[in-house]
Structure 1
Amino acid sequence: MDKVSMVIPIYKVEKYIHRCVKSVLGQTYTNLEVILVNDGSPDQCGKIADEYQKKDPRVKVIHKENGGLSDARNAGMKLVTGDYTLFVDSDDWLDTNMVKVLVNYMLKYKADAVQAAFFYAHDDHLLYDNRYYAEDDPPILFNRNSLMKELVINEKVKNFAWGKLFKTSMINDLPFKKGVLFEDVFWTHLVMDRIQRYVMIHQPLYYYYQREDSIVSSYSPKNLDIIKGLKERHEFIEKKYSDLKLESYKLLLKTSIIHYWLLMMNNSKDKDKYFRKMIHGDVKLNYSHFFEAVKEDKDLRYQLFLFSIHPNVNMLYVLLKKAAEKYIKRTKQLQLKKIDL
Structure 2
Amino acid sequence: MYQTEKVSVVVPIYKVEKYIQKCVDSILNQTYTNIEVILVNDGSPDSCGLIADQYERFDPRVKVIHKENGGLSDARNVGMKHATGEFTVFVDSDDWIEKNMIEEMVNSSHKFKADAVQSAFYYAYEDKLLFDHRTYLKNAAPVILNNKRLMYELVKNENVKNFAWGKLFKTVMIRDISFEKGVLFEDVFWAHKVMHRVDTYVLLHQPLYHYTQRSDSIVANYTPKNLDIIKGLKERHRFIEAYYQDLTDESYKAILKMSLIHYNLLLQNRKKDKDGVFRKEIQHYIQHHYKSLERAVLGDRQLKRQLQLFSIHPSLNVLFLVLKKGLRLAKFISKPAGLEQVKS
TM norm structure 1:
0.97
Query: Hey, what's the Cα distance between the residues in 2 that align with 1:136 and 1:217?
Result: 39
Aligned match of 1:230: 233
Task: Quickly say closer, same or farther: Cα 1:288–1:318, change in 2 above 3 A.
Answer: same
User: How do 1:196-211 and structure 2 match up within 5 A?
Assistant: 196-211=199-214
Query: Hey, what's the Cα distance between the residues in 2 that align with 1:7 and 1:98?
Result: 15
Query: Hey, what's the Cα distance between the residues in 2 that align with 1:324 and 1:214?
Result: 24
2:123 to 117, 120, 125: 120
Q: CA deviation at 1:274?
A: 1.2
2:99 to 92, 96, 101: 96
Amino acid in structure 1 at the alignment position of 2:242? K
Contact 1:124–1:340 (Cα < 8 Å) also in 2? no
Query: Hey, what's the Cα distance between the residues in 2 that align with 1:138 and 1:216?
Result: 39
| Structure 1 unmatched ranges of 5 or more | none
Is 1:42 aligned to 2:45, yes or no? yes
Is 1:301 aligned to 2:299, yes or no? no
Q: CA deviation at 1:273?
A: 1.3
SS of 2:222's equivalent in the other structure is coil
Aligned match of 2:78: 75
TM norm structure 2:
0.96
Contact 1:234–1:248 (Cα < 8 Å) also in 2? yes
Q: CA deviation at 1:72?
A: 0.3
SS of 2:250's equivalent in the other structure is helix
Amino acid in structure 2 at the alignment position of 1:150? E
Task: Quickly say closer, same or farther: Cα 1:303–1:216, change in 2 above 3 A.
Answer: closer
Is 1:286 aligned to 2:289, yes or no? yes
Aligned length: 341
Q: CA deviation at 1:218?
A: 2.7
Amino acid in structure 1 at the alignment position of 2:19? Y
Task: Quickly say closer, same or farther: Cα 1:214–1:32, change in 2 above 3 A.
Answer: farther
Task: Quickly say closer, same or farther: Cα 1:158–1:336, change in 2 above 3 A.
Answer: same
Amino acid in structure 1 at the alignment position of 2:150? L
Query: Hey, what's the Cα distance between the residues in 2 that align with 1:51 and 1:325?
Result: 52
Amino acid in structure 2 at the alignment position of 1:254? K
SS of 2:275's equivalent in the other structure is coil
Task: Quickly say closer, same or farther: Cα 1:215–1:63, change in 2 above 3 A.
Answer: farther
Aligned match of 1:270: 273
Task: Quickly say closer, same or farther: Cα 1:312–1:246, change in 2 above 3 A.
Answer: same
Contact 1:9–1:90 (Cα < 8 Å) also in 2? yes
Q: Which runs of 4+ in 1 moved over 2 A?
A: 212-218, 321-333
Amino acid in structure 2 at the alignment position of 1:203? Q
Is 1:175 aligned to 2:174, yes or no? no
Is 1:318 aligned to 2:299, yes or no? no
Q: CA deviation at 1:339?
A: 1.6
Q: CA deviation at 1:272?
A: 2.2
Aligned match of 1:24: 27
Is 1:138 aligned to 2:141, yes or no? yes
Q: CA deviation at 1:325?
A: 4.5
More deviation, 165-174/315-324: 315-324
Amino acid in structure 1 at the alignment position of 2:199? Q
| Structure 2 unmatched ranges of 5 or more | none
2:15 to 7, 12, 16: 12
SS of 2:141's equivalent in the other structure is coil
Query: Hey, what's the Cα distance between the residues in 2 that align with 1:6 and 1:217?
Result: 33
More deviation, 320-329/148-157: 320-329
Q: CA deviation at 1:314?
A: 1.1
SS of 1:256's equivalent in the other structure is helix
